[in-house]
Chain A
Amino acid sequence: MKAKDTLLYLDGVSVSFDGFRAINNLSLVLQSGEMRAIIGPNGAGKTTMMDIITGKTKPDTGDVYFNGTVDLTGHDEAEIAMLGIGRKFQKPTVFESHTVEDNLMLALAGPRSAFSALFHRQSQAEADHILEILYTIRLFEKRHWLAANLSHGQKQWLEIGMLLAQDPKLLLVDEPVAGMTDAETAETAKLLRDIARTRSVIVVEHDMHFVRELDVKVTCLHEGSVLAEGSLDHVSNDQRVIEVYLGR
């Protein structure tokens, strides 16, 4: 099977909603340890692709394999998360009525059953790991704040921190720098590159400047399928990409 030796393997995936083909014969392969940027105009199917990978939407046809052998179409969100795929939403989604620290505590890898949660006591190792992440995402000072009181950029970072706590093999990151200042954007690019050293990452982003800073292979989606793939320079010089997306 071709899927072997890949981390994520999508082949001939299609899904339609009420006759509208959101994803049309999409194929995408991600190697282990790779970081990939996905660009494309609105409605190109970027978020739907993430929905398919994380089990939120089932494809009508096509194969989706993780780690070469695991058929993701047969699992739901929670199982896929436990397999090691973490997802950051477009709109930062954190638990607003919990503290920053509790947000990370909930995300921390570990047993997920209701009974273990009822009698859970935090170990020193867990506490240390949370601290470590707090430093990484620069929220140590605010660890007792309710997440609701964080700024937009800080929420984005907290959500990335939660992904780290989850310790996934593959991170799906949807528009991580939306609403960030230039300085924050640069910091986020650095953070993601750091993360990519130990895990695979898929980043969906509109901000070309940010994509350039990531300096990775780029896939351009259009109308639910791959329009062009390669280095950013290669993709941004593609005639069709310029037509549908970048503009002249």
Chain B
Amino acid sequence: MITQWLFTHVDRRGAFAIALLVAIAFFVPVLNLLVPETSALHVPTYLVSLLGKYLTYALLAVALDLVWGFCGILSLGHGAFFALGGYAMGMYLMRQIGPRGVYANPVLPDFMVFLNWKELPWFWYGFDNFWFAALMVVLVPGILAFGFGWLAFRSRVTGVYLSIITQALTYALLLAFFRNDMGFGGNNGLTDFKDILGFNVQAGTTRSALFAATALFLALAVFLASFIIRSKLGKVLVGVRDAESRMRFLGYRVERYKLFVWTISAMLAGIAGALYVPQVGIINPSEFEPANSIEAVIWVAVGGRGTIIGPILGAVLVNFGKTYFTAAFPEIWLFALGALFILVTLFLPKGILGLYGSWQARRATRAALKDDDAQPPLVKQSSRLVPAPEPQAAE
């Protein structure tokens, strides 16, 4: 019954992705913890963390695709929401250090003691509680996105103008978080974490658990995105992407739809950042670099925007490439990344999945021509097909 309910809201690809993610959420930890290190099947802990990091990037990519691929809003500042979620989690992890810091202050994190601060700034209150921090992980990016989007969409800032001001947004935050006075550790950011929910963040079991949590959150995000896209709201979003003014003249308040998906997307990005920080062990202002946000855009473009699993594919592939190149040929990585940007926009505007899709369509055309079927090649089979009555019913 659950699977049936799932299938009414998710297409086959999405269901496959969800199943796969749930499976690896289970098997990767098993292969890490239960299979002996000598076995060929053993997954070393560093790899678990690395894969976990890729999956948080994939979650960011899904969030970005929700606004770019389906609604046509190209955000060059999604890294900001990711980083804010990360900082919220980082603040919780800092508070967990307690008296084990270098200065052994039970309340103040080391960098505050170092700056000679006497008491905790008000915005650090509550972050010793995990659930408060978890709430902030979605609320802070969500509220920022809501305020920003409310202003921008209401004034109908669109296209490249919106892209440029999202970039300015993350740039402004980058500058702000670099300042020591902000109270977020300045240049060095937040690091030297010890515990999460009472478990040592360095321990193999914790890392496996974090990996599993990331995979499950990603599966959840795939479901949420599918649910949104397959609803009427999703169709409105695609309509906005293709012909915004038509949508307005049909009576839709385009700005509210944009605001909805924009805020949801920022919250997902925040969750991605929160899962990222304990797995890499640090969050610093460089996460706000505009370059990071644009890199996330290329993950989506490579995998295939406007699809739900394309961004996941793109994020994992590009980052795998990055890990490989930066270790093996560090000189070449930026050339490769730059070339990727150029080649994908020139030759693969729909990404890898788009390539697969057009190959499928071509095959369908050939099959249709062979069968001499009246069905046109690019028919989209709707699952909610109305039974066709006889044509004389007209008038």
Contacts and interface: CB of A to CB of B under 8 A. Distances in A.
A touches B (Cβ under 8 A): yes
Interface of A: 54, 56, 76-79, 81-82, 86-87, 89, 93-99, 101-102, 105-107, 112-114, 117-120, 122, 127, 130-132, 135-136, 140, 142, 144-146, 149, 162, 166
Interface of B: 228, 231-233, 235-236, 238-239, 242-243, 245-254, 256-257, 260, 376, 378-382, 384-386, 388-389, 391, 393-395
A36 B391 CA distance: 33
Given A102-B235, A144-B379, A95 B251 contact: no
Contacts, number: 109
Contact of A135 (B235, B243, B246, B394): B394
B391 A131 contact: no
Given A117-B233, A166-B250, A98 B238 contact: yes
Contacts of A101: 382
B238 A97 contact: yes
A140 B252 CA distance: 26
A89 to B, nearest CB: 7
A51 B257 CA distance: 23
Contacts of A149: 376, 378
A101 B389 CA distance: 15
B379 A114 contact: no
Contact of A93 (B245, B254, B380, B389): B245
A97 B376 contact: no
Contacts of B389: 131
Contacts of B388: 140
Contacts of A54: 249
B231 A77 contact: no
Contacts of A142: 376
Contacts of A105: 232, 235
A107 B250 CA distance: 6
B268 to A, nearest CB: 16
Contact of A114 (B238, B249, B256): B256
A127 B389 CA distance: 12
28 contacts: A77-B245, A77-B249, A78-B251, A81-B248, A82-B251, A86-B249, A89-B245, A93-B243, A93-B245, A93-B246, A95-B239, A95-B242, A97-B238, A105-B235, A107-B250, A114-B233, A118-B228, A118-B233, A119-B231, A120-B231, A120-B232, A131-B389, A135-B393, A135-B394, A135-B395, A140-B391, A144-B380, A144-B385
Contacts of B248: 76-78, 81
A122 B251 contact: no
Contact of B235 (A106, A112, A114, A127): A106
Most chain A CB inside 10 Å of its own CB: which residue of B245, B247, B250, B376: B250
Nearest to B261: A114
A99 B380 contact: yes
Contacts of A82: 251
Contacts of A78: 248, 251-254
Contacts of B228: 118
B256 to A, nearest CB: 5
B231 A113 contact: no
A94 B246 contact: yes
Given A95-B243, A117-B236, 15 more contacts: A78-B252, A78-B254, A86-B249, A93-B243, A97-B242, A99-B380, A101-B382, A113-B256, A114-B256, A118-B228, A122-B384, A131-B386, A140-B394, A142-B376, A162-B250
Contacts of A122: 384
State the 10 A-B residue pairs at the shortest beta-carbon distance, nearest first.
A135-B394, A81-B251, A117-B233, A120-B232, A77-B248, A118-B233, A117-B232, A82-B251, A95-B239, A93-B246
A94 B233 CA distance: 17
Contacts of A56: 245
Nearest to B241: A97
A98 B235 contact: yes
Nearest to B388: A140
Contacts of B235: 95, 98, 102, 105-106
Nearest to B391: A140
Contacts of B260: 114
A87 B247 CA distance: 11
Contact of B251 (A98, A119, A127, A166): A166
Contacts of A140: 388, 391, 394
A94 B248 CA distance: 12
Nearest to A147: B242
A201 to B, nearest CB: 16
A112 B245 contact: no
Nearest to A144: B379
Given A81-B248, A135-B394, A95 B238 contact: yes
A106 B236 contact: yes
Contacts of A97: 238, 242
B365 to A, nearest CB: 12
Most chain B CB inside 10 Å of its own CB: which residue of A78, A107, A119, A122: A78
Contacts of A102: 235, 382
Contacts of B391: 135, 140
Contacts of A96: 242-243
A66 to B, nearest CB: 14
B208 to A, nearest CB: 35
A146 B380 contact: yes
A86 B242 CA distance: 19
Contacts of B257: 114, 117
Given A114-B233, A140-B391, A99 B249 contact: no
